[in-house]
Amino acid sequence: EQEQPPAASILGDTRVSFIGAGKMAEAIMSGVLRSGRVTSDRVMACDPNQSRRSELKDKYEVAVTNDNAAALEGADIVMLAVKPQTMSRLFQQLQGKVNKNTLIISVVAGYTIDQIQRGLGTDAVIRAMPNTPALIQESVTCWTVSPTVTQAQRLQARELLKTFGKEIYLAEEEKMDMATALAGSGPAMCHLMLEAMIDTGVHMGVPRETARDMVLNTMRGAVNLTLQSGGAHPSTLRNDITSPGGTTAAALYEIERGGLRTVMSDAIWAAYRRSRELG
């Protein structure tokens, strides 16, 4: 394995600016600061919304501004976290103003590396797709880079993304739409399944709090068991707990009859197609 500098020194005195300081930016900022790898005096948040700026200033003691160009100044890494519909305005404001050594990391859904490079007039661009568990440092963040991003910048980016969860590097940018469908939209699909299970518990007569406790911890247990099974296929674990003539077999029969497998597949494909349409 290639020898790498220790994690702390990779981010060292890196300065990070956020352009767009909404929900996703805050999730990332809180992870970055909690990790202690980047201190608040090296972080700046830029947002046109005044109350948002004072909120983040109070909560995280970061510098704030409503001037995007000021946020670019002196930043080693600039996180773009505005809504996709804001990007064309941002491009107008920032075209040609980005320092060549500044690394841009965009979490904006649907915008390709090429579009961002042309829009900003700069080469070093990383595209990342986090998901909402970033709020608790459990994001799954898929990312891909332009060939012009240096090895040192890649290491920096990886270290930064790790501060708010797991990072998964994708060599091909085309896979980002698949990552958006599986991981980006994934939490919502999981929430819906949890909701269905909890509500059924309530329907049967289990108090809601108890049903919630049972279902959430069961889901977590099943995920952890799968993670710790040495790469076992989920069907193996499922077969292990399906006794002949038992309750699980009865449940699985209904799940297959209802087409859950193809419903899930269709849902993820639909998210994938939608992601491609938006891009």
Q: Binding marks (x or -) toward ligand NAD, 31..60, rule CB under 6 A?
A: ---------------xxxx--x--------
How is 103-131 classified by DSSP, letter by letter?
EEEE--TT--HHHHHHHHT-S-EEEEE--
Q: Specify whether the CB–CB gap between 83 and 20 falls below 8 A.
A: yes
Contacts of 39 (CB under 8 A, 6+ apart): 33
* Residues, the chain: 279
Residue count at the site for ligand NAD (CB under 6 A)?
A: 28
With respect to ligand NAD, which residue has the nearer C-beta, 24 or 38?
Answer: 24
CB of 91 to ligand NAD, least distance (A): 10
With respect to ligand NAD, which residue has the nearer C-beta, 242 or 272?
Answer: 272
Using H for helix, E for strand and C for coil, what is the string for 249-265? HHHHHHHHHCCHHHHHH
Q: Specify whether the CB–CB gap between 56 and 64 falls below 8 A.
A: yes
Residue 83 binds to ligand NAD (criterion: CB under 6 A):
yes
With respect to ligand NAD, which residue has the nearer C-beta, 82 or 103?
Answer: 82
Segment contacting ligand NAD by CB under 6 A, of 17-25, 166-174, 190-198, 255-263: 17-25
- Residue 245 has φ and ψ, to the nearest 5°, of 70, 15
Q: Which of 108, 66, 67, 64 is nearest to 88 (CA)?
A: 108
Binders of ligand NAD in range 97-126 (CB under 6 A) = 107-109
CB of 89 to ligand NAD, least distance (A): 5
CB of 52 to ligand NAD, least distance (A): 5
Residue 90 binds to ligand NAD (criterion: CB under 6 A):
yes
By CB under 6 A, name the binding residues for ligand NAD: 19-25, 46-49, 52, 68, 81-84, 86, 89-90, 107-109, 129-132, 184
